[in-house]
Amino acid sequence: MPERLRLSGSRLLRSYAGDLRDWASGIARRYEIAALVLLASALALMIAFGFGIAALFHFIALRYGENTAFAILGGGFGLVALAGILTGLTLLKRQLPPLPRPQRQLRELKRSLAIPAVVQLLNHNGRARGIARDPTAQIIVTATAALALGWIVAATRSSRRGT
């Protein structure tokens, strides 16, 4: 039984470690997206000074004058960059999701402890003969099995209700 307990305990520990890994990767993914948005915003700002001045300046300057061309190009890309920076900062300031709790693993550990204990108690040959001869032991084993069975049923029903 200690071998089975160790196996189920390590399996539950790996399960909880998987939940923690998923939680941490979700946080890392959020920061990755925010960094990409900030990088794209910086690129948009460079485009505002480079491509905007080089490609459209001449066209706007011919129609409306040089001062108007500078204002339109710089202001347009500046607004795009500002919107991107504000979006990235908003993404970085969002509240983190809560740390996952090991409640599911603890319920499974309770079940893995109760069922093998009852089975081992009832299947052991030497004890079975002794229990068959002693009426007090029969009552104790029957009550223990009924309590264990009731506990398992109650735990299953409460987990279905979400409590």
Separation of alpha carbons 10 and 34, rounded Å: 36
What parts of the chain have a pLDDT lower than 50?
1
Cβ atoms of 76 and 48 within 8 Å: the answer is: yes
Which pLDDT value is given to residue 114? 64
Please state whether the predicted TM-score (pTM) of the whole model is above 0.85.
no
Which pLDDT value is given to residue 39? 94
- Residue partners of 2: CB distance under 8 A and separation at least 6: none
For residue range 64-74, what is the model confidence (pLDDT) as tens digits? 988 988 888 78
Which pLDDT value is given to residue 32? 94
Place of tokens 């920061």: 31
What is the DSSP secondary structure assignment for residue 162, as one 8-state letter?
T
For residue range 97-108, what is the model confidence (pLDDT) as tens digits? 888 888 887 777
Helix (H, G, I), strand (E, B) or coil at 88: helix
> How many whole angstroms from its chain centre is CA 16?
10
Helix (H, G, I), strand (E, B) or coil at 95: coil
